[in-house]
């Protein structure tokens, strides 16, 4: 069982009603893709994007926030946590990203309904730390797994919605040539499988 599955199962067990969340970062790769690199499954946290369309509902959901705090207390000794919950406008995404989210079907859970961004949007989120080697390795996996092409990504690069912070714009500019090289290289590789794009 991956760390992401442990975190998701723990949260699910602490909820008493249905909650819908969009996971991103390495947890979403571990849960939402097949044959992931071993390092991905060892990620210690689960990052979440808070959708504007669900903001009021989630903000008023005291039981969810209590459960989220309990997750961190329960898993503290294992070094696992779920503390990074970002509003969607704090993350690199396409303007219509929510229309393309993909259900995460494992692990099977009672109350927690997990989704992940489409692969194109996940690649954008991985550009927030520039050409960080770990993030670029994840981008390489995503491109190869879903056979993402330059023709799919270039419109996303042109329309990406990002916070108006110069440091993040600089990070995007550093990541862009690296991701383009990975896309060009990925055209000639064999996919590990298919997933949502």
3-class secondary structure for 122-140? Answer: HHHHCCCCCCCHHHHHHHH
Instruction: Establish if 193 belongs to a structural domain.
Output: no
Indicate whether 76 belongs to any domain: yes
pLDDT averaged over every residue in the chain: 92
- With 50 as the cut, is the pLDDT of residue 146 above it? yes
Question: Is residue 189 scored above 90 in pLDDT?
Answer: no
Residue 193 pLDDT > 60: no
Task: Indicate whether 20 belongs to any domain.
Answer: yes
> Dihedral of CA 146/107/112/85: which sign?
negative
Prediction pTM value: 0.91
Query: Residue 167, SS3?
Result: helix
- The answer, yes or no, to whether residue 67 has pLDDT greater than 50, is yes
Domain of residue 57 covers 3-186
Burial class, 122, CB count within 10 angstroms (exposed 0-12 / middle 13-18 / buried 19+): buried
Mean pLDDT value across residues 102-115: 94
Residue 197 belongs to a domain: no
- Overall number of domains in the chain: 1
- Residue 35 clears pLDDT 90, i.e. is over it: no
In degrees, rounded to 5, the angle at the alpha carbon of residue 45 between the alpha carbons of residues 49 and 119 is 50
Cα Rg of the chain, angstroms: 16
Work out the angle between the directed axes of helices 3-14 and 25-32 (0-180°, nearest 10). 90
Is residue 192 situated within a structural domain?
no
Q: What is the model's pLDDT at position 186? A: 73
Query: Is 68 domain-assigned?
Result: yes
In a domain, 70, yes or no: yes
Domain assignment of residue 196, yes or no: no
């Amino acid at each position: 069982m991956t760390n992401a599955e442990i975190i998701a199962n723990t949260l699910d067990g602490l909820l008493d009603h249905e909650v819908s969340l969009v996971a991103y970062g390495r947890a979403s790769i571990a849960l939402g893709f097949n044959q992931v690199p071993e390092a991905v499954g060892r990620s210690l946290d689960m990052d979440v994007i808070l959708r504007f369309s669900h903001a009021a509902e989630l903000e008023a959901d005291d039981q969810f926030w209590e459960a989220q705090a309990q997750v961190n207390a329960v898993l503290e000794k294992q070094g696992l946590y779920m503390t990074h919950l970002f509003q969607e406008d704090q993350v690199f995404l396409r303007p219509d990203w929510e229309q393309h989210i993909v259900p995460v079907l494992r692990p099977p859970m009672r109350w927690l309904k997990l989704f992940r961004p489409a692969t194109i949007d996940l690649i954008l989120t991985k550009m927030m730390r520039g050409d960080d080697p770990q993030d670029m390795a994840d981008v390489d996996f995503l491109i190869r797994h879903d056979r993402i092409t330059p023709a799919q990504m270039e419109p996303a690069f042109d329309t990406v919605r990002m916070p108006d912070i110069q440091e993040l714009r600089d990070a995007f500019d550093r990541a862009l040539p690296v991701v383009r090289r990975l896309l060009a290289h990925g055209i000639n590789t064999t996919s590990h499988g298919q997933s949502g794009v």
